[in-house]
Chains A and B, each alone.
Chain A
Amino acid sequence: MHQHEMSTCSVFDGAVFISSEMKLTEDFKRDTHPNKVNLAGREYVGEHGHTTWLPLVRKIKQQIATDPTLFPEYPPILGIPEFTQRATELALGKDSPAIVESRVFGIQTVGSTGAVRLGAELLRSWYCSSSSWSGPILLSSPCDDSLTGTFKAAGIEDVQHYRYWDAESNDVCVENMVHDLENAPERCVVVLFASGHHPTGAELSQEDWKRVAEVMMKRQLFPFFLMSAQGLCSGSLEQDAWAVRHCVSLGLELLCAQSFSYSFGLYGERVGHLLCVLKQNMLAVQSQAEKLVQTLWSCPPMEGARVVATILSNPAHLVEWQESVKGIAEHCMLIRERLRERLRLLGGPGHWDHITKPGGLYCCFGLNAQQVEFLIKRKHIYLLPHGCLNVSAINSRNLDYVAEAIHQAMHSQL
C-alpha cells in the first residue's frame, strides 16, 4: 500500500481573512492612552465601569450549584417551561388575550441572536406556505450589520431597509418610516425594535406605534419584534413592551426576540427567548421549531435560564429585580441629563433633546465618518458608526472629557 504524500496546499486556501467585528473593542484594549473611553461596548456598566450582578443573582446561582435535586440532564429542546412561561408573561402581560387563548408559545434560545436566527429559520422554512422563503424582510436604517447577516445566513437573501433614524433631526422620522412601510411589498416581514433600538436608541411614541401597527395590518406586513432590554429604557416593563402588546391586542401574529442579558446582567449565560404569537396551528409550528433548534444547538444551556425563571417566579425576587431594572434605567437617564447639560454649557449650536428623549443604553449624535474617526483616533473615545454610543460607559470620571471631545468633533474644523 502506498504512503501518499499530503499536498502542500491547504484545503482552506480558499478562505479569505476577514477582520473581526470586535476590532473596535480589541483596538480599545490595546490603546494605552490614559483617557481612553469605550463607548462602543455591548454591556451595561455601572458607575464603577464594570458590568454588575444583582446580589440576588449570585445567591440564586449558589442555590443552584448546591441543589441536590437538580440534575444536569438534557433540557427540553425548546427550553425549560418555567422559563418560557415567565418570559412570555413578561413580554405580553399575564392576562394577555394571546396567553389566555393559548395562541402563544415560547422557545428558550441562545441569547437574542439565537432567537433572531431561529425566528429567521422558521420564516425561511414556513412563511406563507413557502418551503424556502427568501424575503423580502425590512430592517431599520441604520441597524447592526450582524442583524442583516443573521437573516442572510438563515437563507433570507432579500434584505431591504425602511428609514428610521433621521440625521437631520437626530430622531426617528415616523413619516418616512410609515411611508416606507406603506410602499413595502405586501406580506413582507418587518423587524421592529419594541424599545431600545440598537444602535441609535431612538424610540417611537405610543401614537407612532399605533400608526405603524395600522399600516402593518393594512398591508399584511408581519412584525418581528426585537426587545433586548425590556424595562431598561423607560424603567417600566409594561411601557417598554407596549408596542408588542398593542400588536397582539389588534390580533396580529408576530415573533418577538427577547434578551435577558441586560436586565439580569447575565450576558455570558446567553439567555434569550423567541416568542411566537399565532392565530392557529400552534402545535405544528412548535414541532417544526423543535426540528430547527436541533440543527442549531440541539437544546439550550440551562444555567442562566434557571436563574431568570427562579427570580421571575418568586414574588419577592420579582420586586427586587424590578427595582434593579428601574435603577439601571434611572442611571442611564441621569448620565444622559448630565451629558446634555455639559454640552449645553459648552455652547455651540445644536439641540440636545435627542440625548434625553429616549431612554436606555444607546444614544446617537449623528456624526459623520470623519467626526467618528476623530473621536477614535485623536481622542481615544471609541464609539459606533454615526456617533452612536453606549451611555452607561460615561461616568463622573470621564464625563467632562467625553463632552468636550464630542463638542470638538461637532464644532471644529477637523
Chain B
Amino acid sequence: MSIFGEVPQAAPVAVFKLSADFREDQHPNKVNLGVGAYRTDECQPWVLPVVRKVEKMITDDHSLNHEYLPILGLPEFRSSASKIALGEDSPAIKDNRVGAVQCLGGTGALKIGAEFLRRWYNGTDNTKTPIYVSAPTWENHNAVFSNAGFEDIRPYKYWDAGKRGLDLTGFLGDLESAPDHSIFVLHACAHNPTGTDPTQDQWKQIADVMKQKNLFAFFDSAYQGFASGNLEKDAWAIRYFVSQGFELFCAQSFSKNFGLYNERVGNLTVVAKDQDNLNRVLSQMEKIVRITWSNPPSQGARLVAITLNTPELFAEWKDNVKTMADRVLLMRAQLKEKLKALGTPGTWEHITEQIGMFSFTGLNPKQVEYMIKEKHIYLMASGRINMCGLTSKNIDYVAESIHEAVTTVQ
C-alpha cells in the first residue's frame, strides 16, 4: 500500500496543456497564440544580443567566485533592479527606505512577499487578511497566496467584457468595500491576461481610495519596458504610489524583458516608511528565504546586474527591449487593420488600446473552440492571445480565421 496511493491527478495547467496540444498538432498552418513568451517574426525564441554578449563576459571572467550568493541575493542586482522600478533618482531610494530581495522570478518574489505579509502584516500570522486579485488575473496568483497560508482570496472587478475595457467603477467599488488593510495585487502594466491598464488618471483614483482605506499595494511587474517600449512609462503607477507615500511591495520579473525565462531572475522591491522598518522587514525576509530556497541562483542575476550597471550595455538592452515592444505594437496595428479591412463584425479598437504581450480578443469559448479545432490556432478559452505568436507570415491566416469564427459561430 503506497502512502501516496490516494493522491488524485491534478488538472493540467491550461496554458501548458494548450502548448502540448499545439506541439502534437500536425497541421501545416498551426499557430500558437497561447504561450507567454516572446517570439520573433520567424516565430523563434529570441536571445537578446546584449544577453549573448554579457553571458560570454561572465564565462570568460576568471575572477568570479562560485560561492553561494548572499541569502537576499546579489547586492548589485538588487539595487539596480529596484532603481529600474522606482527610478534612479527616486526620493525613497535617497531616503534609504528601499530594499530588495533577489528571488526566483516574479513567482518567487510574490512568494516571499506573501510569506512575509502572512507572518507580519496586519497582526502576527494573520491568515485572514483578505487578498484581492483582479478578475481575471494570472492564474498562479491565487495559488501562491493560498499556499502562503492566506485563507481569504477574493476577486476585484477589473475587466468589463461588455465594453471590452476596464471596469473602473466596479474596481473602485471593490476598493471602497474592502476591509481595511486588505492586500491588493496590482498589475504594474500590461495586465495579464487582458492587456488593459488603468490610465494615469484612473491610477490616481485607485491610489486615493487605497490610501483612505489603508489598503496594501502589492505590485506585480513582469513586463516593464516590454509594454510600451519605455521603462519609465511602464513604471509610472509604481512610482506614483511611492510618491504618494505608500509603503509597498513590487514583485519584478526579468524573464520577459531580458528573455531570461530559464534563469528565474526576479526581485522583490520593498518600500518602507523608513530605514529602521526596512531593516526589520529584510531581516525577516532573509529568514523566509533561508527556509524556502536558501540562496538565489547567480547566473541570471549577474547577467542583469552587469547589464543594468554598465552604461553601453544598459543602452543596448533598452534598445533590445524596444525591438520586442515595437514588434508587438506592429502586430497589434496590423491585426486590427486586417480585421477592419475584412469587415469583421464588432469593434477592434481594443487590439491596439490594449498593451503588452496579451490581448483579450473578446472571442467567446465556442469561437475559441472553433479556432483551435477547425483552424488549428491555439488560444486560451478566455479569448486571450499572445501577440508574439503573430508573424508577418501567419497574420493573414489568423485575421481570416477570427473573421470566420466571429461570423459563423455564435
Contacts and interface: CB of A to CB of B under 8 A. Distances in A.
B264 interface: yes
Given A114-B294, A222-B3, A288-B7, A75 B67 contact: no
A72 B111 contact: no
Contact of B297 (A9, A61, A152, A301): A301
Given A51-B66, A268-B297, A72 B262 contact: yes
B71 A22 contact: yes
Interface in B259-282: 259-264, 272-274, 277-281
A17 B279 contact: yes
Interface string B35-53: 0010000001101000110
A291 interface: yes
B123 interface: yes
A6 B120 contact: no
Q: Which 8 A-B pairs have the closest CB atoms?
A: A268-B298, A113-B294, A6-B245, A297-B104, A295-B147, A10-B273, A298-B107, A110-B293
A395 B181 CA distance: 56
* Majority-rule SS of A interface residues: loop
Interface in A263-314: 265-270, 278-281, 283-285, 287-288, 290-292, 294-304
Contact of A267 (B37, B67, B181, B284): B67
A150 B291 contact: yes
A121 B115 CA distance: 14
Interface string A30-64: 00000000000011000000110100001001100
Given A10-B274, A114-B293, A301 B13 contact: no
A4 B208 contact: yes
Contact of A298 (B104, B280, B287): B104
B211 A6 contact: yes
B297 A270 contact: yes
Contacts of A302: 262-263
B199 interface: no
Nearest to A266: B66
A345 interface: no
Give the interface size class of chain A: 35 or more
Contacts of B260: 72
Contacts of B124: 14
B252 to A, nearest CB: 14
A65 interface: yes
Nearest to B9: A284
Interface stretch (B55-63, B223-231, B313-321): B55-63
B146 to A, nearest CB: 8
A107 to B, nearest CB: 13
B128 interface: no
B292 A20 contact: no
A284 B144 CA distance: 21
9 contacts: A20-B283, A21-B71, A51-B67, A129-B5, A149-B290, A294-B140, A295-B148, A299-B105, A299-B264
A100 interface: no
B184 interface: no
Given A51-B65, A74-B37, A280-B2, A16 B45 contact: no
Contacts of B146: 295
Nearest to B293: A110
Given A4-B212, A11-B216, A12-B121, A74 B261 contact: yes
Contact of A301 (B1, B59, B120, B263): B263
Nearest to A304: B297
